[in-house]
Structures are given as C-alpha cells and as structure tokens.
Structure 1
Amino acid sequence: MAAATRERALETAVELLGAEGVRALTHARVDERAGLPPGSTSNWFRTRRALLGGIVDWIAEHERADFDPAATPAITGLDQLIESWCALVELQTGPFAARTRARYALFLELAGDPDLGEPLRRQRREFERWTEQIVTAAGIADPAPATRALMALSDGLLLHRLTVDPTLDMRPAIERAVRALARS
C-alpha cells in the first residue's frame, strides 16, 4: 500500500512537472492531484530537493523499462533504424509526452546541480550507448558521431513537437539524416 502511494505521488509529480513546469511542483499540489491525504508526498520526500531526486529516479527507471534494448527487435538496416526512430519519437511526444517535458524541465532546472543532475546525465549516456549499438547494427560506419547527430536531431524534433507543432511529420527529417549519416 505504501509503495503504491509513493508511486502514485511520483507519477503525479511527473505529470504536474510535465504539464506546468518546475515552479508548479509542490508537495501539496502533488497530494491534491494524486488524491492523496495532505502530507503524503512529504512523508516520502521531506524536501523539494528530495522530491526532485525521486522524480529523476522515477523517470530513469520508467525509461529503462519502456525502452529496454533486450525487449526491442534487432535493427539490421537503415529502413529499420528509420522506422524505429520515428516510433521512438512518436512515443516520446505522444503517450510519454508529459514525461519527456518533465525530463527537459529537469535537465534545465538541474543543470548546475551535480548530485541531482547526474542521474539524468547517466541515463542520457546509457541511451547514447544503446543508440550507438543500434546505429552500428544498422550499418553506419562511424557510429559515435552519427549517434550524436541523430540524438541532437531527435532533441530538436522532440522540442518542436512538444512546443510548436504537435502534428509535425518528423519522418522526412529522420530519414534524410539517417541516409546522410550512412553516406558519410
């Protein structure tokens, strides 16, 4: 029961952070939105810093589960890479949009905080390693710079879809980038 309350508080905190930003995040608002008794979130996370740390860990844990490399089909060519990358961006800007917004808000908020920011950066490095393996399997000869370029493009597409044009067809940009990276 207690673990379910903690999970509900964190899930609600991520949704609140993703919808309204860092300034809207308070223990009381999380309790209210989650339908928890007042003080529930502070029982788990005594300070704002502790709550932010809990959110960072929650996001990383759920992203690892949702994008587990072992659960993803093997990518063996450029067409599969393009399809998979488009699907990934769709998920991040569709069903996981609040979490994606929350992650970006945390990156900005915690940029100068080495302790709280490190789990986010570690998660990013993990995702980069995973992406580099995929890029290599797809047949791109120089995978490290290709990975950085593909991830930078994806960050731009994610931000664009989340802030400017939620219906943007990102496939042409992803396809053009992947094919250009394969030629270079």
Structure 2
Amino acid sequence: MTSIRERALEAAVDLVGTQGIRALTHARIDAQAGLPRGSTSNHFRTRAALLTGVATWIAEQERGALGAKAAQSFDDVDGFIDLFTEMVELLTGPYAVRTRARYALFLEAASDPELFAPLQAQREAMVAWSANLLSTLGARHPDAATHAFMAFGDGLVLHRLSVDPDAAIRPTVAIAVHGCLSA
C-alpha cells in the first residue's frame, strides 16, 4: 500500500513533469494525489522541504529503475551501446515525466545547494558508471570521453523530450560511443 507521503511525492513529480516547477504547491499536490487538504504540508512544511523531498524521491526512483542496469559491466562496445540505448528509451519513454521533472529541478537547484545535493549525487553516480565503462572499453582519454559522453547523453535525452520523441537512439549512441573511444 502506498503511503500518503509516497502519493504526495508521485503527484508532485507528475505536476512538475507535466506542468513545470510553478505548478508545485502543497494544495495542488493534495488535489492531484486525491489527498485531504494539508496532507502534503504535514510531510513537507515548506516549499524548500518539498523541493528537496521531490529531488530525493526522483533520485531514489531512478536508482531503483536504472540501478540494476547500471550495475552491469561490459567488456564489449555493443553491449554498452545496447544498455545505454535502453536507458535513454526508458528515460524518454515510460519515465519521461519523471525525467522532465528532474531537469526542471536541476534548473531550480542552480542556486540552492540543499536542493542540488540529491540530484548531483545521482549525476555523479552516472558519471562514475560511464567513466568506468568507457575506461574498460579502452577510451584513450577517459576523463574527456566521459565529459563528452555525458554531455551527449543529456543532449539526446533533452532532444527526445522536447523536439523529437521518436528520434533514433541506437545509431546516435553508437556514433557517440565510438567517437569517445577513438578520440
């Protein structure tokens, strides 16, 4: 059974991911989640606490959804390309609303270290995972390759979320991975 707190957080992610950060109010979350008025504020007294709670929730959900995939390691390029393609498909398909909410929170968090912390921790885990795999696969310059690959991944996800939801993924990922390995 889903707790009131979880219902509120799920509703908050849905609001931010579909209507933007301005839609995030305690009252709107209560209405979206079908909760009695004041339920969300019982768990998150301030807007800052609410934003931090949502950011932490998103990071937890992504670790759960993508954690098993990220735990895989590869010694072949095609396996990495397939895995990363699948992750982009998830982030821009079934988890698109949550991904939009995460991006909105990243922008909101630019001047708020407390809000930024759970998002940054999640990002750092993804960077470490990518760096390890690119290094294992033989990247000549792993640090530069990781930086380029992360920027590419962000761009591809943003492109699919905002411009072309049906943009091809695997061929583009293959070019990026091969470029990162050979540069």
Distance 1:130 1:72 in 2: 8
| Secondary structure class of the residue paired with 1:75 | coil
> SS of the residue aligned with 1:101?
helix
Taking structure 2 as the reference length, the TM-score comes to: 0.93
Q: CA RMSD in A?
A: 1.6
What does the per-residue CA deviation read over 1:93-142, in whole Å, with 9 as the maximum and x for residues that have no partner? 01111111011000101101122112211221121111111222333232
Number of residue-to-residue matches in the alignment: 183
CA contact (8 A) 2:17 2:99 kept: yes
Match of 1:33 in 2: 32
Give me the whole-angstrom Cα distance separating, in 1, the residues matched to 2:144 and 2:158: 21
Report the counterpart of residue 134 of structure 2 in structure 1: 135
Q: Any gaps of 5 or more consecutive residues in structure 1?
A: none
Partner of 1:150: 149
Residues 1-184 of structure 1: matches in 2 within 5 Å?
Answer: 4-68=3-67, 72-184=71-183
Cα drift, residue 182 of structure 1? 1.6
SS at match of 2:111: coil
Deviation by residue 1:128-162 (Cα, 9 ceiling, x = unmatched): 11111122233323222111111101111111110
More divergent stretch after superposition (47-56 vs 174-183):
174-183
Alpha-carbon shift at residue 84 of structure 1 (Å): 0.9
**Which stretches in structure 2 are left out of the alignment for 5+ residues?**
none
Where 1:110 maps in the other structure, the secondary structure is: helix
> Would you say the 8 A contact 1:75–1:81 is kept in 2?
yes
Greater alpha carbon shift after TM alignment, 14-23 vs 61-70: 61-70
How much identity, in percent, do the aligned residues show?
51
TM-score, normalising length: structure 1: 0.93
Q: Distance in 2 between matches of 1:29 and 1:60?
A: 22
**What is the deviation of 1:70?**
7.5
Paired residue secondary structure (1:67): helix
Counterpart code for 1:161 = R
Aligned partners of 1:69 and 1:130 also within 8 Å: no
Closer, same or farther: CA 26–166 of 1 in aligned 2, 3 Å = same
